Chain A
Amino acid sequence: AQTVTQSQPEMSVQEAETVTLSCTYDTSESDYYLFWYKQPPSRQMILVIRQEAYKQQNATENRFSVNFQKAAKSFSLKISDSQLGDAAMYFCAFRGSGAGSYQLTFGKGTKLSVIP
């Protein structure tokens, strides 16, 4: 079974600064998908970024980028130029690629605070 570990329960960052959230995972699969979701107090889960394991290039979405280290099974999220609206819970998630592997396995989350 896959496991996803987020070792930082809480993080804080100054507005306009950069912060990195950590995520490690454990799997025996060679092909899979990784995601970061954001959950603000409104509770809606919002997709931030996704990475396909067979792609070596790190995914980027505007101010959000990942550092995907497949051998180390690490998938960290970097938020640049942090904004007040970035304050939320961030969840790292894993999805296998095999037939029927639709389930998302989530980490416990990191609460990000943005300091004005």
Chain B
Amino acid sequence: SAVISQKPSRDICQRGTSLTIQCQVDSQVTMMFWYRQQPGQSLTLIATANQGSEATYESGFVIDKFPISRPNLTFSTLTVSNMSPEDSSIYLCSVAGYHTDTQYFGPGTRLTVL
């Protein structure tokens, strides 16, 4: 499986600011995804990061709040914009190959918004 890293691993931010989370993979992958895990909850898919085109967002998530970039096959960023305490969560990226049914996850970013 691919080695996936995320930066930062954790951050504490002030209300109204924005944070960009990076996801880097050590090999080219077809699919990259961003998930949110609210405290004590399961994972919810935010969007699929598409290389060279706009991300595909799930219901309840919008580009203005969670802009995503994917400039190549090994890197993606998720920005959490205009943060509020309700955005305090773990954000995880995951990857999968085109012919692979399995997703592998990065170590996650723990975000606390004050």
Residues of A at under 8 Å CB distance from B? 33, 35, 37, 42-47, 50, 52, 91, 95, 97, 102-104, 106-109
Q: Which residue of A lies closest to B44 (CB)?
A: A106
Closest chain-B Cβ to A44's Cβ sits at a distance in Å of 5
- The answer, among B33, B45, B107, for a CB contact under 8 Å with A43, is B107
Contact-size category for B: 20 to 34
Q: Which residues of B contact A (CB under 8 A)?
A: 1, 31, 33, 37, 41-45, 48, 58, 90, 92, 94, 96, 101-108, 110
In angstroms, Cα B92 to Cα A37, docked, is 14
Number of inter-chain CB pairs below 8 Å:
51
Q: In the bound complex, do residue B92 and residue A45 qualify as a contact, i.e. CB atoms below 8 Å apart?
A: yes
CB distance from A109 to the nearest CB of B (A): 6
Nearest-neighbour CB distance to chain A for B7, whole angstroms, equals 14
In the assembled complex, the CB of B44 is this many whole angstroms from the nearest CB of chain A, namely 8
Q: Are B102 and A50 in contact (CB under 8 A)?
A: yes
